[in-house]
């Protein structure tokens, strides 16, 4: 059911009104997030039915949406949503302790001011707080459908963010999609999410750019998508310049500051891409942070070893940006651990770079370790 004040089908949505946000919330939380955290096939039929109803309600066709993104550009999408295992329980425990402290403060103040005792006000405030949190959480977490296409019944489930079962498919209705990928991200908890899917990307039109391009760049996750200080962001500028170039050179291109990228002096973007730019490492940064807080023996005793490491798997035939070749050819570059030639382990098997690595040791040359 559309919002009571929703405009009739065929009319324009007001840009800055609550009605528009309500419709967007219904699309995202009611349809798109249906089945989140579970294998796609488990709830796919119901999700498609919800999408069909949404299109019918808001004046689109039953079988196909009447709008689709013309261009999607993403920077190193990773499977790091949510937390699992001990980290999840640790975060939950910390939040519980924090909530208890926040509830205890007004209980203590009431006791000091009116002599109410501690536990009765504590229980009252805790109950009210829990009710408020539940009221805010339920609409976002509980997904339901009335008249399921599976059995005709009302069905519901709780959406869960498990760092698994990500939706990796790219709709065939998307015009163009670009993905800038990190070669040097080594945190195991930040694996790349594959994108596209066989048979779902639209066919290429003769004379147009490829619908989907996934390009690899030097640097870790945040070297690609940005967030480091400006003086340390030359690698970020490379990825951003590439993405802007891709978005402004497709048919019906995106505009930058209202102008095409080919109009010099019109953009507010001040990019200074450099193949020899500083490269960061969050694995080393976390180890330094832990070492600065805890003595080494205590960190080892507590198991505070920092981020687990896993080298990215760069396919042998993967598209690699020209700046990576330039960086590879330099005698040394600035990296988190110091200066030296750029020889990431992730590129050792790539067809264009493996010749730049030393020969692998033969079994006879490997020294056994005890």
Q: What pLDDT, on a 0 to 100 scale, did the predictor assign at position 14?
A: 82
Question: Phi/psi of residue 115, each to 5°?
Answer: 65, 35
User: In 3-state terms, what secondary structure has residue 143?
Assistant: strand
pLDDT, one tens digit per residue, over 32-90 is 999 988 888 899 999 999 999 998 888 876 677 788 899 999 999 887 655 555 556 66
Q: How much is the pLDDT for 62?
A: 63
Question: What are the distances in angstroms from CA 148 to CA 155, 161, 214?
Answer: 7, 23, 37
Give the pLDDT confidence score for residue 360 in this predicted structure: 55
pLDDT of residue 168: 75
SS3 annotation, 195-235:
CECCCCCCCCCCCCCCCEEEEEECCCHHHHHCCCCHHHCHH
User: pLDDT at position 87, please?
Assistant: 56
The structure tokens 């056994």 sit at: 368
For the chain, list residues with pLDDT below 70.
1, 4, 9-10, 61-62, 80-91, 162-166, 197-200, 258-267, 360-370
CA distance 244 to 267: 11
Alpha carbon 226 to chain centroid distance? 13
* Cα(202)–Cα(171) distance, integer angstroms: 8
What pLDDT is recorded for position 212? 94
Under 8 Å CB-to-CB from 140, ≥6 apart: which residues? 29, 159
Q: Whole-angstrom Cα distance, residue 157 to residue 43?
A: 10
């Amino acid at each position: 059911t559309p919002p009571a004040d929703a405009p009739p089908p065929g009319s324009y949505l007001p840009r800055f009104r609550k009605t528009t946000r309500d419709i967007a919330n219904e699309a995202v939380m009611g349809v798109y997030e249906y089945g989140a955290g579970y294998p796609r096939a488990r709830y796919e039929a119901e999700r498609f039915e919800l999408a069909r109803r949404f299109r019918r309600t808001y004046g689109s066709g039953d079988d196909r949406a009447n709008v689709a993104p013309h261009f999607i550009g993403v920077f190193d999408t990773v499977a790091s949503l949510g937390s699992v295992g001990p980290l999840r329980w640790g975060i939950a425990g910390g939040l519980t302790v924090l909530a208890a402290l926040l509830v205890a403060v007004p209980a203590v103040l009431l006791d000091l001011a009116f002599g109410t005792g501690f536990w009765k006000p504590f229980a009252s405030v805790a109950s009210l707080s829990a009710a408020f949190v539940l009221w805010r959480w339920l609409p976002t977490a509980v997904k339901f459908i009335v008249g399921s296409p599976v059995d005709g019944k009302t069905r519901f489930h709780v959406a869960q963010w498990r760092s698994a079962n990500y939706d990796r498919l790219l709709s065939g209705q998307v015009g163009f999609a670009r993905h800038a990928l990190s070669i040097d991200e080594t945190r195991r908890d930040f694996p790349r999410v594959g994108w596209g899917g066989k048979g779902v990307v639209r066919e290429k039109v003769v004379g147009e750019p490829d619908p989907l391009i996934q390009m690899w760049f030097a640097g870790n996750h945040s070297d690609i998508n940005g967030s480091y200080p400006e003086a340390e962001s030359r690698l970020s500028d490379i990825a951003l310049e590439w993405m802007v170039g891709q978005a402004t050179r497709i048919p019906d291109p995106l505009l930058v500051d209202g102008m095409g990228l080919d109009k010099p002096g019109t953009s507010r973007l001040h990019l200074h891409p450099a193949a020899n730019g500083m490269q960061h490492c969050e694995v080393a940064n976390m180890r330094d942070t832990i070492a600065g807080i805890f003595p080494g023996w205590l960190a080892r005793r507590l198991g505070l070893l920092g981020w687990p490491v896993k080298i990215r798997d760069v396919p042998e035939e993967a598209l690699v940006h020209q700046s990576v070749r330039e960086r590879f050819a330099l005698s040394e570059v600035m990296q988190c651990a110091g200066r030296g030639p750029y020889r990431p382990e992730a590129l050792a098997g790539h067809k264009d770079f493996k010749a730049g690595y030393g020969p692998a040791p033969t079994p006879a040359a490997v020294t056994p370790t005890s």
